Each structure stands twice: as C-alpha cells, then as structure tokens.
A and B are shown apart, each in its own frame.
Chain A
Amino acid sequence: MSQELIKLVNIGKTYFLGEISVPVLKGISLEIGKGEYVALMGASGSGKSTLMNILGCLDRQTEGDYFFDGEEVGRISGDRRAKIRNKKIGFVFQSFNLLPRTSALDNVIMPLNYTAQGLSSSEARRRGIEALKQVGLGERIDHFPSQLSGGQQQRVAIARALINRPPVLFADEPTGNLDSKTSVEVMNMFSELNASGITVILVTHSTEIADCAKRTIMLKDGRIVDDPKRHAAEPKEA
C-alpha cells in the first residue's frame, strides 16, 4: 500500500459574497498516495481549481481537514504554509508565469530566494543549470522568456517547480496555452517525472490529457462524481 501524501476529510469551501454564500466544494474526501499521477477533471465551475488551490496550500478550506504529509495544513500560519509551498510543492501554471526580462536560469532559481537555508549563489546556479538540463534546456540558460517558445517556457516553469526537489507537483491546465505537439512533449515530461517518483496532480478539462494520468478524479458541482480508487478495492501501486 502506498504511503498517504494527501488526505482530505470532508473538505468544504464556501465563498461569502456579501450576504450570499456560494458553496464551491461540498464535502470532498480524498486520499492521494506518494508517487501517484492524478488528474482532476471537471467542467468549468465544478470546483476543480478551488480544490487545486486548497491542495496547493494557496487557499484554505472552510470546513473539514486537510492533511498534507501527515500535517493538518488548513489551520497553520501563513508563513508555515509558505514554507511548505517552497519546500514540498511545485507549481506549473497554464500561463507559465515566468518573470519577464529575466533569464531562464534566474527564473528557475527564484524560489531558492525564499528557502530557509541560504544556498550560495554558485550552488544555486549549479542547481538551476541541473534542473534546466533535466527538462532539456541546458543550452538556453541565459535566454529570456520572450526568446523561448511556449513549450520551452513551460519547461522552464517545470524546472522552477522542481528546483527545491518537492515530493509533489501541481499543474493547473499545463497544456492550455500550448499546441498539440508541445503538449505531448510536456505531458511526456510529467510522465517521466512521475516515473522518477514525484507525485503529479494535474487539473484539466481535456480527456486526452487526463488519459495520461493513472487516476482520474471527476468533479461536478463541488463533489467527486467519479474516482477509480473508490471503485477499486485495492489502491493502485505507483
């Protein structure tokens, strides 16, 4: 049985817009083990992005408990959550979110600025180059994002997400801004990373992309409507 990395118990999220309360997540319970490759699917408005934000420690649930790596993270301080995001979580966004007019290498090592143990700048550079090589951009370390193609930019973003060697990688529509060819490249990269032991959690609305994952969780109106893990008595082995 795989070790549990993420455990959600009856998570609810309600937005309060003045007097109207808008429930977005309604009692989600979920377990994701180490090394899994999960796709969160659902139509827009199904709550998948909200769930992703809660999973990524960017947002807090309004009900229920969220255990990340055995620790309840919904109620800890913002600074501790920042530390968890820095050390244990990598993010890949739909729109890459690279710093403009900043070299690929500087983009990649940016998270190291916020890492508690200060790395020397040469050590940071070395790690940044290593991460860029890992995503196949070893010869483009000094290029600005504007000089890179969409696929290359997304790979720089993946290298940035991996710089602190986190156990889990979140990707929010990672191929949303890419053409089909580069999408395949990026998805292959996720598969490789997953094969190397990193837990990958994707948010997508495309079945094609979701098919790359080993487990697809379907969301609708803030509830899980389909999760293979619930059907199968035995949890999948990564």
Chain B
Amino acid sequence: MRIVSTVLTSLKSLRRNPTRTLLTTLGIIIGIAAVITMMEIGNGSKSAIQTSLENMGANSIMVMPGSMMGPGGARQGAGAAVSLVPADADAIGEYCPSVALYSPVVRGGNVQVIFGNVNWVPSNMFGVAPAYFEIRNWDIEEGRLFTNEEVDTNARVCVVGTTIVKEVFNGMSPLDCELRIGDVTFTVIGVLKTKGANMMGSDEDDVVLTPWTTMRMRVTGLKTGTASNTSSTVSDSPGERFAVSGRALYPDQDNSITKDKLFYSRFTQLDQIIVTASNIEKNEQAVQEVSDLLRKRHNLGIEQDDDFTVRNSAEFMSMLNQTSTLMTNLLLGVALISLVVGGVGIMNIMLVSVTERTREIGLRMAVGARSRDILRQFLIESVVLCISGGIMGILLGHGMSLMIATVLGWPIEASPQAIVAAVIVSATVGILFGFYPAWKASRLDPIEALRYE
C-alpha cells in the first residue's frame, strides 16, 4: 500500500519534468536496447549455425573401422581395416538406447556413371539405408526415397543430387531414367534437395545414393580383410575366412542367419556406420554406448585397442557454438559497460534532483517523513526511472533487431531470458546508482533543507 503510493508519487515527480526524465533514462534505454539487440542477433545466429550444421549432418556420429597393420608393419590409417559388419549396425540400433537412427554406409569410390552418351564421376557415391536421409536432414525434391525392402532386396535404384541432374541429365528430370553406375544399371527414383557446399567446400549435391546392399554387392564388391582384424567375425569356413578379393556377387550364406532377411556374408563389411543420438545432449552417451557395444562384439580385451574409430562431430559443433557464444558475450560485455555509463548518468541526475528538491525534502521531513521514507522515495524514483528506461530499451532493442532482420535479413531469435535479465539489471542499476543520492537526501537536516535557496 505504502509502496504503491510511493511509486505513484515517484511517477508524478518524474512526470513533472518529462524531457529530463527521458534524457536521463536515455543511457539506460540505449544500454538495454543494445543488450536486447545483441542477444537476439546472437541467439539468432547461433541457432542458424546450429540448423545449418544439423543440415550438414554435423550432429551425427560416425563409426569407422580402425587402422590396419599391413605386412612389414606399414599402418594404413583409419578405415583401412575390415572390422564393421552389418550386424554391428543392427546391434547399435538395438542395444544402444541413446541412439535414435543409424545407417550403414558403403563408399562407392570413384565409379563412373553413364547416362546416354554422358559420363561423370560423382564426388560422392554412397550406399546407405533410408535412415541416412533422416540423419542428414536431406529431403527429396521430386520422386521418392528408396525403402527398406529395396535395401533388403539389393534393388537397383538410386537417388541423385541436383549436380548430377545438371551434369548428367542436362537439367531434365532424371526420374525413371536408367543410370549406369560402373557396370550396373540403376533406375533413378528420386532427386534430392539442393544442399550446397559442405564445410570443407566440396559440393554436397554431386552425389549418387543407392541402397547399401546394392552398392556393396553389385558395385564395389567386398574388400579384403585379414582375420586378425575381424576377431568377432571369424568364420568356420575357410572360404569365408579368406574372402575373395575383388567382386563377390554371390556372398556365402551365413549359418547364423535364419530369419527371412537378406543374407549377408559375414565378411560383408561396412565402410562406415552413421548414427544420431536421440538428442544432442545425449551425443557423448551415445558415443560411449556404441564404443562399449562394438568392443564387446569384436571381443576386444582390456589391453587391446579399438579396432574402430568413433567420431563425434558434436565437438566441432560445440566449438562453433563456443565461438558464437564468445562473440555474443563480448558484445554483451560492451553493452553492459554502456549500462554502467547509463547508471552513472542516472546517479548524476538524481544528485542534481536531490539538490534541486532540497526544500521539498525539508518540507516532507517537516510534515513527518522519516529519513527512511525519503531514502525510499528517491530509491524508488531511480528504480522506476531505470525500469521504465529498461522497458523502453526492451521495446527499442526488439524493434531494432526486427528491423535488422527485415533490412539485412539476419536471423534473429527473441530471448525471454534477455528480457528478464534486462529488467533485473535495470532495477539493479537503479538501486546501485540511486542509493547514494537517496542516502544523501535522507541525511539532510530539515531546517537547513527548508532554508535552502
């Protein structure tokens, strides 16, 4: 009740000099507006970076085979070993609770594609499962994606990127066209949406994607692996243990497979398994689960190194996020300095106001105001000043970021936390910088104050 009437009194006395009130709060208005604009632009660019990274599939986890020690101790780098099998991929899907989606990946390599009299070597040629498109956030422009049944039946269908459409099909719709990949004819069933260049600068749309089984069985064939690298997949049959080099169009039937399912050879190796966690926070956990599972499946002892590599691009993403957070914080720091400057302005004017209203203070004391009533009145006055400045700043800042969004086309994102913080900060500035003038006012001697000219 008393607070309400004091606030009303403060509003009245602030209204007595509107120009000065506005000029006084200008510092706060600009400071808060700067904070709000920074936060909205910062948040906007952060989520824009996040979205584009997610589109690039950067929140995915890659599982690759490990390195391989060749004859004479020559190591051949990550991915050289033959240690990932389709069953590993299925097990990841089944036993890792943090994993949402997974897809085996078979690299096509530099295989020529031919349509009519046009030939081309796509920079990316992968055999994948339908989940891959979801993992990479890749939508179809026209036609359709291939299905799990087509994967299971080694169907000769493929999906192409827009660069392929331009280079191979001369811009015409390639749907239902016969595209030869290596020696095998595929039917084009879909065209992917344009993605542009990836972070490394290579064209993402220069791509041909087929079911991974088709790619492995019909195009690339099986790679040679050594038994020591595939400890979990040691087979009983010598024919499997020493896999045929080059093409293996008719893989041996695995004894353990009894389900009505595609029969893979135990040696059908994958070049990669791509996995996404159910959400980005669970990324680390998913990496751990996948590593543990694969170590178990590959019968690796404690002293043995992993025969696979798990790469988590979330690190890259968090690095980018850190960069943009750093920038936002830096700008926020500058904005906070301007708030402090605004606060000094408030203090200055409040001191002037106390001096100017000395007689009023004396009068109020003479009619029964206690020191703390005076202190409270001036403190509330400066807080009211700052908060109204803060509210104007929030409106101005939001308006500015909206303007920037429309004029410059920058992404913005409203930040409720920043608004709450702005109100709290402006109230704090009001209390901090209003305290000294208010305290000075409350210390006045009523007789002196009444006599003040």
Contacts and interface: CB of A to CB of B under 8 A. Distances in A.
Contacts of A93: 363, 450
A100 B16 contact: yes
B82 to A, nearest CB: 86
Interface in A140-162: 160-161
B370 A114 contact: yes
A83 B368 contact: yes
Nearest to B6: A113
B371 interface: yes
Contact of A114 (B359, B368, B447, B450): B368
Contact of B367 (A79, A102, A111): A111
B368 A86 contact: yes
Interface stretch (A53-61, A204-212, A227-235): A53-61
- Give the residue among B12, B365, B370 with the most A Cβ atoms within 10 A: B370
A99 B368 contact: no
Contact of B16 (A82, A101, A111): A101
Interface string B350-383: 0000000001101111111111110000000000
Nearest to A118: B1
A97 interface: yes
A160 B367 contact: yes
Contacts of A48: none
B446 interface: yes
B367 A86 contact: yes
A78 interface: yes
A102 B366 CA distance: 18
Given A53-B447, A114-B373, A118-B2, A91 B12 contact: no
B5 interface: yes
Contacts of B1: 118
Contact of B447 (A59, A78, A87, A110): A59
Interface residues of B, number: 24
Contacts of A56: 366
Contacts of B363: 93, 97, 99
A102 B15 CA distance: 10
A60 to B, nearest CB: 11
Nearest to A106: B12
Contacts of A78: 370-371
A113 B370 contact: no
A115 interface: yes
Contact of B369 (A91, A97, A114): A114
A97 B359 contact: yes
B9 interface: yes
A114 B446 contact: no
A121 interface: yes
- Give the residue among A56, A79, A99, A101 with the most B Cβ atoms within 10 A: A99
A100 B13 CA distance: 10
Given A58-B446, A102-B12, A91 B367 contact: yes
Nearest to A90: B367
Closest 6 CB pairs of A and B: A86-B368, A111-B367, A114-B368, A82-B370, A101-B16, A97-B363
19 contacts: A58-B365, A58-B366, A58-B450, A78-B370, A78-B371, A79-B370, A82-B365, A83-B370, A86-B369, A91-B367, A93-B363, A97-B362, A110-B364, A111-B367, A113-B5, A113-B9, A114-B369, A118-B2, A118-B5
Given A91-B367, A97-B362, A113-B369, 17 more contacts: A58-B366, A58-B446, A59-B447, A82-B365, A82-B369, A83-B368, A86-B367, A86-B368, A87-B368, A97-B359, A97-B363, A97-B450, A100-B16, A113-B9, A114-B369, A114-B373, A161-B367
